[in-house]
């Protein structure tokens, strides 16, 4: 499963508890209520575990975490730059 699918599965199953929910790669996750403040913390933990990337607090911003696509781009750049 690619990272975008993994993120979506985590959000709809683990955070929202609504496995059948449709979620778009460009949906505004933080406006929707699917991900609240504690959800962000859990999501970061999940991403760090899955990718081995360290995500410092200063980079947990709207630009990097507003949508599934933004997260995938951010993580992709982190992996490339090591």
Q: Which residues bind another protein (CB under 8 A)?
A: 13, 16-19, 28, 30-31, 33, 35-40, 57-62, 65-66
Find the angle CA(33)-CA(14)-CA(3) to the nearest 5 degrees: 95
* Residues 6 or more apart in contact with residue 47 via CB below 8 angstroms: 7, 53, 55, 71, 75
Closer to another protein by CB, 27 or 51: give it: 27
- Specify the residue, 20 or 52, whose C-beta has the smaller distance to another protein: 20
Q: In whole angstroms, how close is the CB of 21 to another protein at the nearest point? A: 10
């Amino acid at each position: 499963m690619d990272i975008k699918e993994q993120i979506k599965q985590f959000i709809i199953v683990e955070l929202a508890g609504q496995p059948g929910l449709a979620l778009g790669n460009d949906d505004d996750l933080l406006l929707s209520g699917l991900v609240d403040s504690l959800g962000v913390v859990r999501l970061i933990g999940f991403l760090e575990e899955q990718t081995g990337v360290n995500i410092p607090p200063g980079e947990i911003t709207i630009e990097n975490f507003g949508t599934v696509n933004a997260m995938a781009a951010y993580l992709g750049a982190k992996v490339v730059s090591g």
